[in-house]
Structure 1
Amino acid sequence: MMSIIGTIHEDVTTEVLGKMGSWQWLTTFVSLCLLIPCIFNQYEDTLLLQPPTEISCYVPDHFDVLNSTLCTFTLSGNSTEELKCTKWHVKLLWLIWIKKSWNIFCEQPMKLLSTTIVCRLGLAFGYVIFGLVSDCFGRRKAILINIVAEVGFRLILVFCDSANWFRLLIFLKSLFGSANFYMSLVLICEIASNSWRSRLIAIVALPRVLASVCLVPLTNSGPNLETFNFIAFAFEVSLLLLLRWTPESPQWLLYNRKVPKTEEMLYKAAKMNCIQLCSNFKIRPVNYRAYNCLDKTWTCVELFTTYNIRVVVSAILSFWGLYFFLWSSLYVRAYSAEYEDVLWKVFGFIFLLGSLTLCLWRKMRVKQLLLMTILFTGTFNAIAIITNCFEYHNTITSLISSLALASGLIGHTLILVITPRLFAINVRATLFGCCNATAQLGTITNHLILRFRAMDDLTLMILEVAVTFALCAACYVIPDVDGRELPDVMEDMDYFSE
């Protein structure tokens, strides 16, 4: 089998295995399952969570209790004095009662915000660190480290009984579990053929996109965080079995000159796709110009030495930060106000807008769809802020906020489809991780503005309208990804951004 390695013109995986087959579908299913833990990352929205139900204040039997809540109790002899709870009974898995001497929901509101920020900072650092790990040592190794670490930290958090240790564990869990949020997307991006790439990324991104809107209602519907953590722990243990079918990226292997491993993997995958290959199947370049490209020592720092690459990277990083600043503002307002049936309204609008997007996908470029979605989200968000001034604002604002959330989720999917396809192999995971880290910083900034009321509604609306226009401007800078192969080296990034 003859093939050119390391150019923008050839895709060895598609050449050998075809555009789509059983191996690609298996990898898609595995990648989809590896992203499901996003739905259990409840600590990134701790400030929006409600106090749990299956937990009660523990009061010794010799006290005659008149009234008891989650955080305080009143004795019958002194009905005017409320005493703070120092111990709690937590019903784990609806079956087992365990004792705890600390409860996060009885802390000051600022502690809930600090837990949210600690979790998101851990994610931000982890996105960058594991992007570097993935680009240096492989996509599969980054996924393996994250799943094993996540399993351990989840189990420890179930029985953690200290505020300081709790926040440290939250930070470490977020740090070491961050690759699970995006590494599967990098993997499926690199194994998919050009004609199937957008569809497969959208399918794999589904758990992450749904987690963006389902996380708070799903966590609040559970009995307590300990049970929620244990369920997540059990599910992530099952993910260890899927590592057997998690392949390494053939493109990453070829870029790092691991040709024998690539040949062995593609030979087995070809059998799964019912493709007959000769027993001495080999991958060889037509000429050695491809190897000359791979031998160049490009680093992340040298990204900013080429004008086109510098502009594209700066634009996409800014885009992620601004987009999630806008999204989190809408998200926090929607779930803080506790609008009635907001989740079902969002799902209804997702179905309508998703169907419209699929119809337009054949006639419009992905970048044009993203631009249209941004305009919808920004407009509906501004209208939702204005309607708060009306007398019957709850019903109207709930409807418009749900429409804006649905539009924002479509935009989130399109961003995930576009972003990893802009970068070269040796920096793809690192830059994609940096984009995700920038998104966390944008979200944290918005949380701080809303929590400390740094702006009134009018000023915030003007700021968000300005952010919407900035996002629209950034869309024109981001290159088209429709109908183009993935860039292998940074010279390809420069070529596509001209």
Structure 2
Amino acid sequence: SWRRWSRSRAWTAGSTAAMSIAPPSSPRCEAAGAGGSSWAAPACRGGPWGYRSTGAAPPRFGVSAGTLICCETCHADRVLEGGEILFIKRLSNSLSLQWNLVCANDWKGPLSTSLFFVGVLLGSFISGQLSDKFGRKNVLFATLAMQTGFSFIQVFSTSWEMFSVLFVLVGMGQISNYVAAFVLGTEILGKSIRVLFCTLGVCIFYAFGYMLLPLFAFFIRDWRMLLLALTLPGLLCIPLWWVIPESPRWLISQGRFQEAEDIIRKAAKTNGITAPDVILDPSELQDVNSQKQQTYTILDLMKTRNILTITIMSVLLWMIISVGYFGLSLDTPNLHGDVYVNCFLSAVIEVPAYIISWLLLRNLPRRYSMAAALFLGGCVLLFIQLVPSHIRALSILLVMLGKFGITSAFSMVYVYTAELYPTVVRNMGVGASSMASRLGSILSPYFVYLGAYDRFLPYILMGSLTVLSGILTLFLPESYGMPLPDTIDQMLLVKGLEYRPPSSSTRDSKEEEENPEIFKSTAF
């Protein structure tokens, strides 16, 4: 149907323009790219692939009002007898135009996106185990090199198949370094700084990068040059090897106590604090040392009923949130207006979402904060179907509010999940949850494509699932004001629905236990 084309416009947006008239026998299916659901309506007699342009057509297309654009199966005479179609001049060297990802091949564009998320899924599966075995820092920089290297090779792709295979490897590297960096920051920082890092520190810069993407794409129309421009900044991470330390918590869990103590003393010196003579409690070290020979695998996430319940709920929660987040992001080109502006607005709305999530994490219980964000995001998506079709601005506003709520929840779920698992399997737990999230991201393009049958169906499904995930969140244990568990035995002490705000004295003692002065700076 004609919506099928409009929902793949993101793959070719801004890359073509109508320039001249071609005979009806010419296979110019790309002509439909001059139209779009935001300014044209289906009008071709004989097939759903016709568009009659309106006065609202973007000037860069050069299409006058009333021009009929028809295309169905790459042969115009099957659609409009004796008619004419528009010949398209390339304004850029896009992937779609270079490898003819239109008409019978239009399925390849969305598949490439799904293959990237397949790589992210595979990376989520192995990154946790690699990081728990070889260390957070080593895996972080190894996968950074992997992402940057394969992205650079991708610039020289000679076929769609080569590009897609490399996209899988890029996805594996991308999520692996993201999870390793997130867990490293979670373990090396004190509680107050940790929340700041996990929300504003990580997510705000992610949003800034998201905002730069449509800006780069607007000015760099050649896909190879665009990819190169997005790849080279990875080289700036090389000097960080000499700045970022290994996680002391991971070193302790591996029985490497002296290395952990050296890092802590270096932090104390950097912060101008005199470290105590005894930093690590010998009794706790003995407990950790008794477990250090044990090898932990993904099966340990199902070892006890407590951890198994948390793992199942986390997997479902991450998957649903991912469907909503990536579904709304991929649906941005289908909104009314300029695709670049809409993409930019979709990124901008994430900034206040991250700020609000940070404030909620600092002052309110985790599960109630997450549930509120999910209820907001899900309910506004369900309301979209009630908006009259001519009030497009209100529909866009509700979509952005839905993106705001789901983005806030996405930011909080990283912190929440990391706090629920003990140190010995924390990276594995976050990695498994992230793996479930990637299953959601793989499915998200197909949620968007359901709009070909009913334009409200994607919002109804995503909204309903998001509300259900908000209810699910209420059954998770509370971690607000609690120290991070280090061992599986400590995990057994975690209660379910019970939440007791710690008293000031208890909270101060826990803050002192987990957050000594030497950890109160990010200047490692």
Q: Do these two structures clear the TM 0.5 threshold for a shared fold by scoring above it?
A: yes
Distance in 1 (CA, whole Å) between partners of 2:15 and 2:222 is 7
Alignment of 1:89-488 (within 5 A): 102-103=98-99, 108-207=105-204, 209-210=206-207, 214=211, 217-218=214-215, 220-221=217-218, 222-277=220-275, 283=280, 285-286=282-283, 288-295=286-293, 298-339=296-337, 341-342=341-342, 363-387=363-387, 390-451=388-449, 456-457=454-455, 460-488=458-486
Unaligned runs of 5+ in 1: 1-44, 56-67, 73-78, 92-99
Distance in 2 (CA, whole Å) between partners of 1:182 and 1:385 is 36
Aligned-residue offset at 1:446: 3.0
Q: Does the alignment pair 1:48 with 2:45? A: no
* Distance verdict in 2 for CA 1:46–1:418, change over 3 Å: farther
Select between 305-314 and 360-369 the one with higher mean Cα deviation.
360-369
- Give the aligned partner of residue 488 of structure 2: 490
Aligned-residue offset at 1:164: 1.8
Q: Deviations over 1:167-191 (max 9, x none)?
A: 1111112123321222211011001
* Distance verdict in 2 for CA 1:304–1:351, change over 3 Å: closer
Distance in 2 (CA, whole Å) between partners of 1:101 and 1:348 is 30
The one-letter amino acid of 2:317's match is F
Distance in 2 (CA, whole Å) between partners of 1:323 and 1:101 is 33
Aligned-residue offset at 1:297: 5.2
Equivalent residues of 1:345, 1:399 under 8 A apart? no
* Distance verdict in 2 for CA 1:286–1:452, change over 3 Å: closer
Equivalent residues of 2:252, 2:288 under 8 A apart? no
Aligned-residue offset at 1:418: 1.2
SS at match of 2:331: helix
Distance in 1 (CA, whole Å) between partners of 2:167 and 2:463 is 34
SS at match of 1:247: coil
- Give the aligned partner of residue 11 of structure 1: none
* Distance verdict in 2 for CA 1:461–1:162, change over 3 Å: closer
Equivalent residues of 2:367, 2:478 under 8 A apart? yes
Equivalent residues of 2:16, 2:91 under 8 A apart? no
Select between 292-301 and 178-187 the one with higher mean Cα deviation.
292-301
Equivalent residues of 2:354, 2:411 under 8 A apart? no
Equivalent residues of 2:422, 2:484 under 8 A apart? yes
Aligned-residue offset at 1:296: 5.0
SS at match of 1:135: helix
Equivalent residues of 1:377, 1:404 under 8 A apart? yes
Q: Deviations over 1:193-249 (max 9, x none)?
A: 123321221123225752796476345323232222222332111111112112111
The one-letter amino acid of 2:424's match is N
Aligned-residue offset at 1:109: 1.9
Distance in 1 (CA, whole Å) between partners of 2:101 and 2:466 is 35
Unaligned runs of 5+ in 2: 1-6, 18-29, 35-82, 497-524
Distance in 2 (CA, whole Å) between partners of 1:81 and 1:336 is 23
SS at match of 2:264: helix
The one-letter amino acid of 1:372's match is A
TM-score, L = length of structure 2: 0.71
Equivalent residues of 2:207, 2:347 under 8 A apart? no
SS at match of 2:492: helix
Aligned-residue offset at 1:339: 3.8
The one-letter amino acid of 1:395's match is A
The one-letter amino acid of 1:476's match is L
Equivalent residues of 2:154, 2:166 under 8 A apart? yes
Distance in 2 (CA, whole Å) between partners of 1:212 and 1:434 is 25
* Distance verdict in 2 for CA 1:158–1:359, change over 3 Å: closer
Aligned-residue offset at 1:469: 3.4
Distance in 2 (CA, whole Å) between partners of 1:83 and 1:122 is 37
**Identity among equivalent pairs (%):** 18
SS at match of 2:155: helix
Equivalent residues of 1:47, 1:116 under 8 A apart? no
Distance in 2 (CA, whole Å) between partners of 1:345 and 1:54 is 23
Aligned-residue offset at 1:271: 1.8
Distance in 1 (CA, whole Å) between partners of 2:215 and 2:148 is 20
The one-letter amino acid of 1:379's match is C
Distance in 1 (CA, whole Å) between partners of 2:97 and 2:350 is 43
Aligned-residue offset at 1:476: 1.6
Distance in 1 (CA, whole Å) between partners of 2:132 and 2:472 is 27
Distance in 1 (CA, whole Å) between partners of 2:196 and 2:189 is 9
Q: Deviations over 1:92-142 (max 9, x none)?
A: xxxxxxxx9944656832110110111000110011112111011001111
Aligned-residue offset at 1:258: 1.0
* Distance verdict in 2 for CA 1:207–1:131, change over 3 Å: farther
Select between 426-435 and 373-382 the one with higher mean Cα deviation.
426-435
TM-score, L = length of structure 1: 0.74
* Distance verdict in 2 for CA 1:295–1:460, change over 3 Å: same
Equivalent residues of 1:154, 1:233 under 8 A apart? yes
